[in-house]
Amino acid sequence: MAQGYPSLNLGQAVMVYCYQLAALNRVAPTDGQQLEALHARCESLLHDTEKNL
């Protein structure tokens, strides 16, 4: 990203978010904990997003 433009536009932000969520399809949690894994991943992404604002 160019130094003069330190933020993402909405399209880029959605693309990064969807890319990160797609990574969940490659990870197969055991013991039926898929919903908990999704929730934890979403919380992690939101925390990272808030931290970088």
Q: What is the pLDDT of residues 15-39, one digit of tens each?
A: 888 888 887 777 665 666 777 887 8
pLDDT at 18: 85
Residue 48 in this model has a pLDDT that exceeds 80 = yes
Q: Say if pTM beats, i.e. exceeds, 0.75.
A: no
The least confident of 2-6, 23-27, 46-50 is 2-6
Query: Considering just the CA atoms, what is the radius of gyration of the chain in Å?
Result: 14
pLDDT at 5: 61
Q: What angle do CA 25, 37, 18 make, to 5 degrees?
A: 45
